[in-house]
Chain A
Amino acid sequence: MYSFDYVKPGSIDEAVAALQAEDAQALGGGQTLIPTLRQRLAQPSVLVDLGGCLDAGVASQDGGCRIGGGATHASVAASADAPKWLRAVADGIGDPQVRNRGTIGGSLANNDPASDYPAAVLGSGAEISTNARTIAADDYFQGMFETALNEGEIITGVTFPKLEAANYQKFDQPASRFALVGVFVGKGAGGVRVAVTGASESGVHRWADAEAALAGNFSTDAVPGAPSADGVISDLHGSAEYRAHLVAVLTRRAVAAAG
């Protein structure tokens, strides 16, 4: 990797200030950033480690939960204060090393088009808190690796609502074990939401046709056939048609498992 400076601020304000430096880069759990640095694919001037200032806790809240931006996947997976469906999502991310280092804030700020948390956040209708504001999930995800975050804006927490039924179905890409396709189905006060990760060239997104069908009939029979393969990722692990097919299969399975 290239040389860089490293700071670990003790408060959010200090972190925000540190991130004003040109080519500064926030460091969460580093599960994407550190490999990127090692391959010399990024050259930040300074790494601002958020581990010293972010809340890493998990707390139940109004039947849902609030998770600090610094919470690791392992701590969410192990927390009795997180709903079971969310614990299952966290427990399926990466491997034990990744889960013990990676954070929810880091995952959402990166917004990898095949990662798991974006599907859970979008599919549950969660809210993302930053040092400056609160952003609804529908407004937050803006394409592959694109989010509503401004330069230097830091995710401080995520609030997941109470859901009556929810489930995340992930089909592993065999090498990376990221989601080849992942589907989160959530049914709550706001209706039925279906969020898809891994499939679209525009990143995580909602599947409106399925949501409409399931709103009146929350059963596997109601799930539509495969969505259009237009704009769906095609690579050595699966064609666009295959991924589109998986979206429907996994949605059915998520509905069935959500009960």
Chain B
Amino acid sequence: MPKDQGIGASSKRREDVRFLTGKGQYTDDINRPGQTYAYFLRSNVAHGKINGIDTSAAASAPGVVGIFTAKDLEAAGGVPCGWQVTDKHGEPMKEPKHPILAEGKVCHVGDPIAAVIAESLNQARDAAELIDLDIEELPPVIDMRAAISGGPTVHDEAPDNICFDWDFIADNKEAVDQAIAGAHHVTTLTLTNNRLVANAVEPRCAIGEYDAARDEHTLYTTSQNPHVIRLLMGAFVLSIPEHKLRVVAPDVGGGFGSKIYHYAEEAFVTWAAKAVGRPIKWTADRSESFMSDAQGRDHQTKVELALDENGKFLALRCETLANMGAYLSTFAPCVPTYLHGTLLSGNYTTPVIHTNVKAVFTNTVPVDAYRGAGRPEATFQLERTIDKAAREMGIDPVELRKRNFIAPDAFPYQTPVAVQYDTGNYGATMDKAVAMADLDSYAARKTASEAKGKRRGLGIASYIEACGIAPSSLVGALGARAGLYEAATVRVNPTGNVAVMTGSHSHGQGHETTFAQVVAEMLGCDEANVDIVHGDTAKIPFGMGTYGSRSIAVGGSAIVRSVEKIIEKGKKIAAHLMEAAEADVTFADGQFSVAGTDKSVDWGTVALTAYVPHNFPHETLEPGLEETSFYDPANFTYPAGAYICEVEVDADTGKVDIASFVAADDFGNVINPMIVEGQVHGGLTQGLGQALLENCVYDENGQLVSASLMDYAMPRADDMPSFGVDHSCQTPCTHNPLGVKGCGEAGAIGSPPALVNAVVDALSDLGVTHIDMPVSPGRVWAAIQAAQN
């Protein structure tokens, strides 16, 4: 009988009541008294020198409150980068200034040049059209290979356009070179991980407000981590003391990474609200989102995998060019390095691994973490290459993976790429996926497809990810300029209900439901008695926010620690009430009892007494029932799984249809199976969207060709199959109190190689060995033509 509440129950998402009835409160729903509107005039060329900006005509346009350019912001800092990578020569990465408004030059289409504040958005746009820009176009550099081969320079600080040249792990290089040189078989694959646009349903929005009487700033913004924005913007950009700066991230309609970062528009409206003495709202339209939200992926990689005659992996070498775009976004440098290089061991026992990553500046929109961030790139490289190796060596792709899986008794497993996996059972998820996919009857399905004139293909992929992004000590050693713990305050009100203030931020994940389940389970109370508060630096403790599938593993653990402290405090109060020794008091099912007696007091009595402490021994027992914890784990968590995809390919048109897709994931313990299933569905859809449809394309002039949803193909419901999802293979995390691993990114990490492997399988007898993503009809058809000619 499934539980109807607490840990393990598929509790309905309480937040959906407001989301589905139009009662959500998103940033753009907020309007402040006297509010004005900002419009950013953005560059329409990819690279250019600003010779002049004449705002005189615009300044006298109707409704204009103020017009600002870089010279007005000379006292402000640039938008900072939160992660420093040291290159193979021991030099810090090149870190050109990222000004709030363009200073002297523009570096990508969409780079903001001037901002107009007006009484209405239309008036701001009208006035912006009157600004006379004198921009001398410079030759842009868009292609990464051109950028590092003498192409035009984006920033003078990096004349060769290389931000950093990174070796990982440098000491492994010789061993890898030797192993590859002497191997029985080496599989080589060159591939591209296509650039993506996050396209959250809710575009970015920011409202700046300044209270002159209190000298206090407030920023309402679409953010996954309001405290991070407060710290970065307050300390590094605008020099506003944190106690004078409040950042509110209310309901947020999807982030997928793109709302982690501190953006120029946030700093601008915060600064300008004081300058004009009125609140300022800016809301991106979809076109602006395409050219100003940090984009994802965009890696080009050569992979070489050495195998012995039995298919055992001997060594792996990867050489990657990673596109940074025109400026370093907040976490951009860590994506191709520590979120990518550390995952190249995958689920396998490969003894030596070496990777080189060159991060490259180009005249394109900045690139940063997008659902999975580095781990999808690593997984795609590994799983495509393993699939190619299996075909080249005539070994079944499931069997080849199993021969190389880390054995279930080998944990904790130290990889050759720095991280140590705590637990896992990769054979179990693979067996589960094989069973779910009913591979025994695959041949019959293939025959049936052929009868319809379609080619059927089968694709296998395993994945592992390092998520629950933390611990501070590890990320600090790897270059993070911040800690990565999480904070939670649990406040028990006098009548016994509970408010949880969490540093995690929900932008669709369902935290208000899941976290309440954890607290209700621990306190033996009804979930409805637990309220989850997040997204406002004035209400919550200093927390690091939500990304990297970290909320339950890190944020949930912080809540657990606080509830544990609450229970301990409750025992003290109960001991006082029952005149018993504290050590004899136990807590279960909402009752404090004295062991071995029939004495007990209920939760409500303890809670009320905490706030009505008429006869407390104040020297040993404080009033109140509220506790805060900062949880910093010992390690990442390592979700893993196996995915199997079947496709039907229409060779006449190149159209790929996903016939079936099964996912067997090991997320450790699961709090809410329904929410986990939804997260997997979303992740799979984003991963399959990347593999099948999505592509962010610039032309040689740096114009964004796929600049709207008419050309950037988002996955729709009818592009997707009915997913088979399972998370019954559970190896609980060994180092956090809930034994949880995180589930938000898994689907986006494991699904792209499963789909591409299936398409290549369908076409392999024609000679097709690889197709880059997205495997669009035109590309599939061209690959068939190329293979046959």
Contact = CB atoms under 8 A, between A and B. Distances in A.
Contacts of B695: 236
Contact of A242 (B125, B693, B778): B778
A209 B240 CA distance: 73
Interface in B693-746: 693, 695, 697, 705-706, 709-714
A92 B113 CA distance: 43
Given A39-B287, A175-B710, A249 B782 contact: no
Q: 8 nearest interchain CB pairs?
A: A175-B713, A238-B778, A174-B713, A176-B710, A242-B778, A249-B652, A236-B697, A175-B711
Contacts of A178: 710
Interface of A: 1, 3, 39-40, 171, 174-176, 178, 180, 235-239, 242, 245-246, 249
Contact of A174 (B125, B287, B693): B693
Given A175-B711, A175-B714, A239-B778, A249 B693 contact: no
Nearest to A237: B778
A238 B778 CA distance: 5
A175 B776 CA distance: 11
B149 interface: no
B283 to A, nearest CB: 14
Contacts of B441: none
Contacts, number: 47
Nearest to A245: B781
B494 interface: no
B788 interface: no
A175 B709 contact: yes
Interface residues of B, number: 23
Interface of B: 122, 125, 287, 652-655, 693, 695, 697, 705-706, 709-714, 776-778, 781-782
Given A175-B706, A176-B711, A242-B782, 19 more contacts: A1-B122, A40-B125, A175-B693, A175-B711, A175-B712, A175-B713, A175-B714, A176-B710, A178-B710, A180-B777, A236-B697, A236-B705, A236-B706, A236-B711, A239-B778, A239-B782, A242-B654, A242-B778, A245-B781
Nearest to B125: A40
B390 to A, nearest CB: 30
Given A236-B697, A242-B778, A249 B653 contact: yes
Nearest to B654: A242
25 contacts: A39-B287, A40-B125, A171-B777, A174-B693, A174-B713, A174-B776, A174-B777, A175-B710, A175-B713, A176-B709, A176-B710, A178-B710, A235-B705, A236-B695, A236-B697, A236-B705, A237-B711, A237-B776, A237-B778, A238-B778, A239-B778, A239-B782, A242-B654, A242-B781, A249-B652
A236 B712 CA distance: 10
Contacts of A238: 776-778
Contact of A246 (B653, B697, B705): B653
A1 B122 CA distance: 8
Contacts of A242: 654, 777-778, 781-782
A170 to B, nearest CB: 11
A79 B201 CA distance: 35
A130 B695 CA distance: 42
Nearest to B650: A249
B651 to A, nearest CB: 10
Contacts of A174: 693, 713, 776-777
A175 B774 CA distance: 12
Contacts of A175: 693, 706, 709-714
